[in-house]
Amino acid sequence: MKKTVYNILLLSIQNWFQSFFLLIFNGFIIYFSFTSPQALLTMIYFLTFGGFSVINLVNSIMIKQVFDRIERVTH
């Protein structure tokens, strides 16, 4: 478990732009959801009708860039 956490930290440091973007992007969604009751209802509506898919798409694109870079280096 320690080795896995260590590797995750190394990956996030080496790919600081993607890590920073994911933190800001996901943090904004969480922050916006809980700023007011109206925002919470808006986010519930948005997330119910496809929002989770869009969030996961953005996250997977950013993570794929990291692993594509690792694959190019190892091959």
Q: Which of 27, 16, 25 is nearest to 69 (CA)?
A: 16
3-state secondary structure at position 34: coil
Report how far residue 72's alpha carbon sits from residue 29's, in angstroms, rounded to the nearest whole number. 32
Q: Who's near 36: CB < 8 A, 6+ residues apart?
A: none
Q: Is-contact 43 33, C-beta < 8 A?
A: yes
Q: What is the pLDDT along the chain (75 residues), one digit of tens a residue?
A: 999 999 989 999 999 999 999 999 999 999 998 999 999 999 999 889 888 999 999 999 999 999 998 888 877
Contact between residue 22 and residue 56 where contact means Cβ atoms under 8 Å apart: no
Q: Residue 73: what pLDDT?
A: 83
